[in-house]
Amino acid sequence: MTSHITFWGFLEDIRPLMWESGLFVLPSKTPEPFGIVALEAMASGLPIVATNAGGVLDFVDEACGWLARPNDPDGLAAAIKEALSNDETRSAKAIAAKEKALNFDVSEIAEQYAALYRKLGLKTYCLSLR
């Protein structure tokens, strides 16, 4: 593993970079509503280091990554350091992350939103995701 970081700026398709990476970090300071980029990284076979708030908790757990508190740079750095220090653990979490992403079903989350909308008196529409 190299010991440098490259900031690429905006890219149309980041999949080739994900395929060449060994770890994905989502250092959100505020909760991500869903964090689909983390799910995309997991589908690319990357273990995740993320902050433990928001929608990312619907699919990132200790089996497929490392979690740190939001607004805790020392905790985030420790999680990244731990992730990079053990190739075997990182590899096992990468396999678990890919499996989890490929089997992820958004239906339960969609139903939770629909229930909230109904509770608020808002109309919901049936949407087929398949």
What's the mean pLDDT in 94-98? 97
Strands 24-26 and 48-51: parallel
Count of domains observed in the chain: 1
* Confidence (pTM): 0.77
Structure token digits, residue 23: 């770890």
Q: What CATH number did the domain enclosing 45 receive?
A: 3.40.50.2000
Asked, for residue 129, whether it belongs to a domain, the answer is no
- Domain range for 49 is 15-104
24/42 Cα distance (integer angstroms): 8
pLDDT of 7 strictly over 90: no
Residue keyed to tokens 């149309």? 12
Nearest to 37 by CA among 52, 18, 20: 18
Residues whose CB is less than 8 angstroms from the CB of residue 95 and which lie 6 or more positions away in sequence, other chains included: 45
Q: How far is it, in rounded angstroms, from Cα 98 to Cα 43?
A: 5
Q: Does residue 126 carry a pLDDT above 80?
A: no
